[in-house]
Protein backbone atom coordinates (compact mmCIF):
# COMPACT_ATOMS: atom_id res chain seq x y z
CA UNK A 1 0.00 0.00 0.00
CA UNK A 2 2.85 2.37 0.80
CA UNK A 3 4.40 1.83 -2.62
CA UNK A 4 1.09 2.65 -4.32
CA UNK A 5 0.67 5.73 -2.12
CA UNK A 6 4.11 7.06 -3.06
CA UNK A 7 3.61 6.24 -6.75
CA UNK A 8 0.45 8.35 -6.75
CA UNK A 9 1.90 11.05 -4.45
CA UNK A 10 5.50 11.49 -5.63
CA UNK A 11 5.97 14.79 -3.78
CA UNK A 12 4.91 13.36 -0.42
CA UNK A 13 7.90 12.85 1.86
CA UNK A 14 8.95 9.20 1.98
CA UNK A 15 10.47 9.54 5.43
CA UNK A 16 9.07 11.75 8.16
CA UNK A 17 11.60 13.47 10.38
CA UNK A 18 11.11 13.33 14.14
CA UNK A 19 11.98 16.07 16.61
CA UNK A 20 14.87 15.06 18.89
CA UNK A 21 13.36 17.10 21.76
CA UNK A 22 9.60 16.32 21.83
CA UNK A 23 9.72 13.23 19.53
CA UNK A 24 6.81 14.46 17.37
CA UNK A 25 6.83 14.26 13.57
CA UNK A 26 8.15 17.33 11.76
CA UNK A 27 6.20 18.41 8.67
CA UNK A 28 8.16 19.45 5.58
CA UNK A 29 9.44 23.00 5.95
CA UNK A 30 8.57 23.15 9.67
CA UNK A 31 11.83 22.15 11.34
CA UNK A 32 15.49 22.82 11.93
CA UNK A 33 18.45 20.53 11.14
CA UNK A 34 21.99 20.46 12.52
CA UNK A 35 24.63 21.06 9.86
CA UNK A 36 27.19 18.89 11.72
CA UNK A 37 25.37 16.09 13.57
CA UNK A 38 23.79 13.37 11.46
CA UNK A 39 20.07 12.98 12.07
CA UNK A 40 19.60 15.85 14.56
CA UNK A 41 16.32 17.65 13.85
CA UNK A 42 14.15 19.94 15.96
CA UNK A 43 10.58 21.14 15.31
CA UNK A 44 9.76 24.85 15.15
CA UNK A 45 8.09 24.97 18.58
CA UNK A 46 11.08 23.36 20.35
CA UNK A 47 13.50 25.57 18.42
CA UNK A 48 11.63 28.74 19.51
CA UNK A 49 11.48 27.54 23.13
CA UNK A 50 15.26 27.47 23.01
CA UNK A 51 17.50 24.45 22.77
CA UNK A 52 20.97 23.73 24.01
CA UNK A 53 22.82 22.38 20.97
CA UNK A 54 26.49 23.16 20.24
CA UNK A 55 26.14 23.50 16.43
CA UNK A 56 24.28 25.82 14.11
CA UNK A 57 20.80 24.70 13.02
CA UNK A 58 19.39 25.52 9.58
CA UNK A 59 15.74 25.80 8.62
CA UNK A 60 14.25 22.95 6.58
CA UNK A 61 13.04 24.33 3.25
CA UNK A 62 9.47 23.39 2.35
CA UNK A 63 8.81 21.38 -0.81
CA UNK A 64 7.48 24.50 -2.54
CA UNK A 65 10.58 26.49 -1.52
CA UNK A 66 12.87 23.71 -2.78
CA UNK A 67 10.97 23.52 -6.07
CA UNK A 68 11.18 27.32 -6.45
CA UNK A 69 14.93 27.24 -5.76
CA UNK A 70 15.44 24.46 -8.32
CA UNK A 71 13.35 26.31 -10.91
CA UNK A 72 15.22 29.56 -10.26
CA UNK A 73 18.60 27.79 -10.52
CA UNK A 74 17.53 26.15 -13.80
CA UNK A 75 16.41 29.52 -15.20
CA UNK A 76 19.76 31.06 -14.19
CA UNK A 77 21.68 28.25 -15.94
CA UNK A 78 19.60 28.72 -19.11
CA UNK A 79 20.20 32.48 -19.01
CA UNK A 80 23.96 32.01 -18.49
CA UNK A 81 24.09 29.51 -21.34
CA UNK A 82 22.25 31.91 -23.67
CA UNK A 83 24.68 34.69 -22.77
CA UNK A 84 27.61 32.36 -23.41
CA UNK A 85 26.24 31.30 -26.81
CA UNK A 86 25.63 34.97 -27.72
CA UNK A 87 29.22 35.69 -26.70
CA UNK A 88 30.41 32.80 -28.86
CA UNK A 89 28.64 34.25 -31.92
CA UNK A 90 29.96 37.74 -31.15
CA UNK A 91 33.57 36.59 -30.63
CA UNK A 92 33.55 34.62 -33.88
CA UNK A 93 32.73 37.81 -35.82
CA UNK A 94 34.52 40.44 -33.71
CA UNK A 95 37.72 41.91 -35.19
CA UNK A 96 38.32 44.59 -32.55
CA UNK A 97 41.40 44.24 -30.35
CA UNK A 98 39.80 46.47 -27.70
CA UNK A 99 36.27 45.00 -27.77
CA UNK A 100 33.89 46.34 -25.12
CA UNK A 101 31.90 43.09 -24.99
CA UNK A 102 32.66 41.39 -21.64
CA UNK A 103 34.76 38.21 -21.98
CA UNK A 104 35.13 38.55 -25.77
CA UNK A 105 38.92 38.27 -25.43
CA UNK A 106 38.58 35.10 -23.35
CA UNK A 107 36.50 33.37 -26.03
CA UNK A 108 38.92 34.53 -28.73
CA UNK A 109 41.67 33.02 -26.55
CA UNK A 110 39.74 29.75 -26.49
CA UNK A 111 39.55 29.85 -30.30
CA UNK A 112 43.33 30.36 -30.48
CA UNK A 113 43.90 27.61 -27.92
CA UNK A 114 41.76 25.21 -29.99
CA UNK A 115 43.93 25.86 -33.04
CA UNK A 116 47.26 25.44 -31.21
CA UNK A 117 46.44 22.71 -28.63
CA UNK A 118 48.32 19.44 -29.08
CA UNK A 119 46.32 17.49 -26.45
CA UNK A 120 42.85 18.19 -27.91
CA UNK A 121 39.50 17.31 -26.33
CA UNK A 122 39.98 13.62 -27.12
CA UNK A 123 43.22 13.68 -25.15
CA UNK A 124 41.58 15.26 -22.11
CA UNK A 125 42.22 19.00 -22.54
CA UNK A 126 39.64 20.75 -20.34
CA UNK A 127 39.64 23.97 -22.37
CA UNK A 128 39.11 22.09 -25.63
CA UNK A 129 36.28 20.06 -24.09
CA UNK A 130 34.61 23.27 -22.91
CA UNK A 131 34.93 24.83 -26.35
CA UNK A 132 33.57 21.74 -28.15
CA UNK A 133 30.62 21.65 -25.76
CA UNK A 134 29.75 25.27 -26.57
CA UNK A 135 30.26 24.74 -30.30
CA UNK A 136 27.98 21.69 -30.27
CA UNK A 137 25.29 23.53 -28.32
CA UNK A 138 25.48 26.40 -30.78
CA UNK A 139 25.31 24.08 -33.80
CA UNK A 140 22.17 22.36 -32.46
CA UNK A 141 20.37 25.70 -32.11
CA UNK A 142 21.83 27.54 -35.13
CA UNK A 143 19.51 28.11 -38.09
CA UNK A 144 21.82 30.28 -40.21
CA UNK A 145 23.18 28.74 -43.38
CA UNK A 146 26.18 31.10 -43.46
CA UNK A 147 27.14 31.00 -39.77
CA UNK A 148 30.55 32.44 -38.85
CA UNK A 149 31.04 30.37 -35.69
CA UNK A 150 33.97 27.96 -36.20
CA UNK A 151 32.99 24.40 -37.13
CA UNK A 152 29.27 25.23 -37.05
CA UNK A 153 28.58 23.92 -40.56
CA UNK A 154 30.63 20.77 -39.92
CA UNK A 155 28.83 20.07 -36.67
CA UNK A 156 25.40 20.70 -38.23
CA UNK A 157 26.26 18.27 -41.03
CA UNK A 158 27.46 15.70 -38.49
CA UNK A 159 24.24 16.07 -36.46
CA UNK A 160 22.19 15.73 -39.66
CA UNK A 161 24.03 12.49 -40.55
CA UNK A 162 23.51 11.11 -37.04
CA UNK A 163 19.80 11.91 -37.30
CA UNK A 164 19.61 10.16 -40.69
CA UNK A 165 21.34 7.06 -39.29
CA UNK A 166 18.94 7.02 -36.34
CA UNK A 167 15.95 7.35 -38.69
CA UNK A 168 17.27 4.54 -40.89
CA UNK A 169 17.74 2.22 -37.89
CA UNK A 170 14.26 3.07 -36.62
CA UNK A 171 12.70 2.39 -40.04
CA UNK A 172 14.59 -0.93 -40.31
CA UNK A 173 13.39 -1.96 -36.83
CA UNK A 174 9.77 -1.12 -37.72
CA UNK A 175 10.04 -3.03 -41.01
CA UNK A 176 11.51 -6.05 -39.19
CA UNK A 177 8.70 -5.93 -36.63
CA UNK A 178 6.09 -5.73 -39.41
CA UNK A 179 7.74 -8.65 -41.23
CA UNK A 180 7.67 -10.76 -38.04
CA UNK A 181 4.00 -9.92 -37.42
CA UNK A 182 3.12 -10.79 -41.01
CA UNK A 183 4.96 -14.12 -40.61
CA UNK A 184 3.07 -14.82 -37.36
CA UNK A 185 -0.28 -14.04 -38.98
CA UNK A 186 0.59 -16.24 -41.99
CA UNK A 187 1.64 -19.17 -39.76
CA UNK A 188 -1.48 -18.84 -37.57
CA UNK A 189 -3.76 -18.70 -40.62
CA UNK A 190 -2.15 -21.72 -42.28
User: What percentage of the chain carries pLDDT values higher than 90?
Assistant: 66
Burial 103-129 (b: 16+ CB within 10 A, else e): ebeebbebbeebeeeeeebeeebeebe
pLDDT at 190 over 70: no
Provide the whole-model pTM.
0.58
Q: Which CATH superfamily is domain 68-172 in?
A: TAZ domain (1.20.1020.10)
More confident: 34 or 65: 34
Q: Which of 89, 93, 90, 85 is nearest to 101 (CA)?
A: 90
> What pLDDT digit, counting tens, does each position of 82-97 carry?
999 999 999 999 999 8
Burial 43-61 (b: 16+ CB within 10 A, else e): bbebbeeeeeeeeebeebe
Q: Provide CATH code, domain 2-60.
A: 3.30.60.90
Q: Which of 59, 55, 23 is nearest to 44 (CA)?
A: 59
* Angle (deg, nearest 10), helices 104-116 and 63-93: 70
CATH 3.30.60.90 domain locations along the chain? 2-60
> What pLDDT digit, counting tens, does each position of 104-146 carry?
999 999 999 999 999 998 899 999 999 999 999 999 999 999 9
Amino acid sequence: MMVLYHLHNPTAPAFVTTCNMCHLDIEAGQGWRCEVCPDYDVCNSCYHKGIDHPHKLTNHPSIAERDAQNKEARQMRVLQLRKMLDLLVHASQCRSAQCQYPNCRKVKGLFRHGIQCKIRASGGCVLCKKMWYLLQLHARACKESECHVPRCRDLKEHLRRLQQQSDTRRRAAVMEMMRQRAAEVASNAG
